[in-house]
Structures are given as structure tokens and as C-alpha cells.
Amino acid sequence: MFNGLITVRANSTRLPKKCLLNFGKFSVLGHVIERLKIYGINPVVCTSTNINDNEIIETAKNHKCKYFRGSEINKIKRWFDCAKFFNLDKFHTVDCDDPFFCGDEIKRSMNLLSEKNIDFVKPHNESSSGAAILGYSIKTSSLSKLNFIEDDNLDTEMIDPFLLNIENCNFDVLTNQIKIPRNIRLTLDYVEDYWLLRSLIRILGQNPSRKDIYQFFFKNPDFSKINFFKNKDWADKQASQIQNQLNLN
């Protein structure tokens, strides 16, 4: 069984409580839970102990989904504690900000993790640049090697610099095998992202495949103008966060 740890908190600043916004038949979080089930991936909501995340737990319960509450800012520790709690030897990180993730790519990443006997598998560059296709496949035992894994006060939002601190780190990057439209942004950070993603549901239905989404963008390239202009701001802020974390280390 593939296990998807849904990384989610309610304290978003750019788009408040975005995980609880209406998203077709469900909230954004409810949609992510149900989409994982469609792909045959076991969903586990992985949130914090902050009182503001109580609504997230209620959503998990309403969708009959397992949940775990852990560190608020050290999300790597939260994943590790969650995996230990549910006795998971490996897992895939599913960002609730990426509601149209591809379950097939998640499975391909998880299979690569097992086949190559490595610590983790990074998503391909296209996914990390706004296409929001999949997350990281990680072995729980590898996280136990990190010397900060018990530090609740460490901010690990941008995880790459921290995962690379795994002793004798060995990882791979999933290669993209599908042509992806240019200027596609399918992650949820800004109100413009929400407009685009909600529009896709109205046009393509609650759970379109990535193939259906790509075909739509190939036929309607101007559609990306709704939100792609936010991608530079998003990428710049990610780069700044990574640099800040490198400076702290």
C-alpha cells in the first residue's frame, strides 16, 4: 500500500485558510483526500497541534481519513513522528497546496525509492517549478539519521537543505516522461491560483487526470495568464527561504 502524508496547516498568510476553501464538491483538503483514494493511495492528514488546525481534523474525520498532529514548524519532524505512529517504513509527501497532483507519478516515485534502496526521491524539476505534480518519497529510517529531528522549534519549510544532511545521503530525482504545457501553474498560494484551479473543476470536473489538464492548456494557452505571472514572486520567495535556512545552518 502506498501512503500519502498530506502536509497541511490552516495558518496560511497569502491566502488565509486556503485548505478549507470550497473546491467543487469538497473543500481543498477534502478534494486532496478523495483524490488520493481514487489513485489507491492511503491518505493520512499530517497537521500541527495548533488550535487553528482543529478544523483540519474535523475535515479528516468527515472524510474517514487517518490524521496526525505534530510539530507546527518542523514539518520533517512531523512527517517522521507521523510515520512512526502509523508504523510506515516509507511515505510520499502530498502538499495540500497541490490539489491536482498525479497519483501515477507518486507511485512511480515510490517504486523508484524501493528499487534503488535510497533515502529519498525528489520530484522532477517541472513539478517543483509550479506544475505541482508530486512531492517527495522518503524512507522513515533515513529521517532518524538527522540530528535535528527532535527540534520542534526548527523551521524546515524548505526541506532540501535539511534532507541533504542525512548521513551518507543517497537520493535520486524522478525524471519527467510527459510533455508539460509551458507556463502552467497548478499550486495554490494566491487568490489568482484559486481562480484558475476552481475554473478547471468547473470545466473539467472534480478530478481531471493530468492528461486532461495538459490537453486543456495546450488547446487554451492563454488560460495560464490567470495566474502564471505569480510564479516569479512564488519562486523568489522560495529561493529566499532556502537561502535563509542555509545561513542559519
CATH number of the domain that residue 66 is part of: 3.90.550.10
pLDDT above 90 (res 244): no
> Using 50, 70 and 90 to split pLDDT, how confident is the model at 12?
confident
Structural domain range at position 146? 2-248
- Residue 88, CB half-sphere, CA atoms under 13 Å: how many? 27
**How many residues are there in the chain?**
249
Q: 248 vs 238, which has greater pLDDT?
A: 238
User: Which of the four pLDDT bands, split at 50, 70 and 90, describes residue 234?
Assistant: confident
* Overall number of domains in the chain: 1
* pLDDT, tens digit (0-9, with 9 covering 90-100), for 82-117: 999 999 999 999 999 999 999 999 999 999 999 998
pTM above 0.85, yes or no: yes
C-alpha distances out from residue 20 to 10, 13, 25, 211, Å = 8, 14, 12, 26
